[in-house]
Each structure stands twice: as structure tokens, then as C-alpha cells.
Amino acid sequence: MMHGRFKRGLLLALVMGFVAGPLLAAPVKILMLGTSLTQGYGLPPGSEIPALLQAKLNAAKIDARVINAGVSGDTSAGGLSRLDWSLGDRPGAAVVELGSNDALRGIPPAQTEKNLSAILAKLKAQHIPILLLGMMAPRNLGPEYARDFDSIYPRLAKRYDAMLYPFLLQGVALNPKLNQRDGMHPNPAGAKIIADRIFPDVKRLVAQTAGSHGH
């Protein structure tokens, strides 16, 4: 009798699991850890890069949610210091956009690389697929600084098997029509170009997550 009851209970559990499984599937959380470029400094609500990416994911019927973890003025050290807190959201994928403020402050590239390496190592240890958004140093810092800084991103992407978008501001940097008056932060038109260009990589990033489920 107990044997029969156990079998019926097991069958019920299997049926309930089968029915509830698809209903309980949660969207893939994409942690976007970055600076003011991620936060959306000076942009109207909804025109920040994470918001634009979210709209594109929705339009493509990809079940994913972008978490805007951008902090204006943040350095690679700042990003590293708040990473554990950001991982509390249990993201399934991560986009890392850090280093631009390091270069603006003239922080030694070796220090920036050490911080970014620690961030990528933590993400890798948790089996979180990574898209690393590369940056380039301002050329007024000299050729040696620029060479050392620019080479950080491809080197780290290779070391941690991360996807790399070589230069986040490609096609937008130094174009007055695509930037705010400060000449450093993209305006809505510039943000749209950036989101359009990195979206294919974001789609591939979601596809790398074990729990990804586009429709």
C-alpha cells in the first residue's frame, strides 16, 4: 500500500514539475557593470544604453532583463568594490564597461588591468558569460600610456575567454553631433548607435547562458 502511494506521489510530483517548469522559468538577468556611459549620464529616461538594449531584447522576443549597474565617475577599482553586491541579483550574464575614468585620471594601466582582471576572474568563477566593452585612452596622455591602456582589453578577453567589443564609442567618439556638450558622453543619437552596434554581441551573450530561452 505504501509502495502504491509512493508511486502515485512520485507521478504527481513529475506531472506538477512538468506543468510548473515552463511557468517558473525566469528571464536571464544581464548585469551591466559600468560607468556614466552605462548609467546614462545626461540622457532622458529610456534612452540609456541598458534601456535601449532592453527594448531591443523585448522586440526580438528574447527573455532577458538588463540590470543597469552603471555609476557615474566609477573607476575599475570602484566596479570591483561593488561587484559582490551586484552579484546578489544572481545574474546569468555580465557586460563589463569600466576603465574610461581610470584613463581620464591617468591611473597606471597596470592597476586598471589588475582590477578588471579581478572582476573577470570573479565572474568566470561563477560561470557567468562575459561581454567586455573595450575602451581607448585619450591620446593626449602620450603614445606609451595609450599603447599600454588600449592593450588591456584584448589581453583580458583572451585570458578569461570573454567576448570583446573592441571600442565602445566606435563611430561616436569625437563626433559633436553624437555627443553632449561635454564632448565625452553620448547624446540620445549616440547612445542609439552604441546600443545598435553592441546588440548582436548581447544576443550572443544571452545564448551562452545555460538558462537562456529566446522564443
Pick from 176, 107, 97: nearest CA to 138: 107
What pLDDT is stored for residue 26 in this prediction? 86
Q: Which domains does the chain have, with CATH numbers?
A: 28-208 (3.40.50.1110)
DSSP letter, residue 62:
B
- Count CB neighbours of 8 within 10 A: 10
What pLDDT is stored for residue 19 in this prediction? 47
Are 171 and 207 contacting, i.e. CB atoms less than 8 angstroms apart? no
Pick from 45, 8, 162: nearest CA to 98: 162
pTM, full prediction = 0.86
DSSP letter, residue 95:
E
Question: The C-alpha cell of 152 is what?
Answer: 588591456
> HSE of 50 in the Cβ direction (CA atoms, 13 Å)?
26
What pLDDT is stored for residue 214 in this prediction? 42
Q: Which residues pair with 69 in a beta bridge?
A: 33
Are 120 and 96 contacting, i.e. CB atoms less than 8 angstroms apart? yes
What pLDDT is stored for residue 138 in this prediction? 92
- Residues designated catalytic: 36, 182, 185
What pLDDT is stored for residue 24 in this prediction? 56
Written as tens digits, the pLDDT of the chain (215 aa) is 445 565 665 555 555 555 444 455 789 999 999 999 999 999 999 999 999 999 999 999 999 999 999 999 999 999 999 999 999 989 999 999 999 999 999 999 999 999 999 999 999 999 999 999 999 999 999 999 999 999 999 999 999 999 999 999 999 999 999 999 999 999 999 999 999 999 999 999 999 995 444 44
What pLDDT is stored for residue 52 in this prediction? 98
Pick from 72, 79, 67, 74: nearest CA to 43: 72
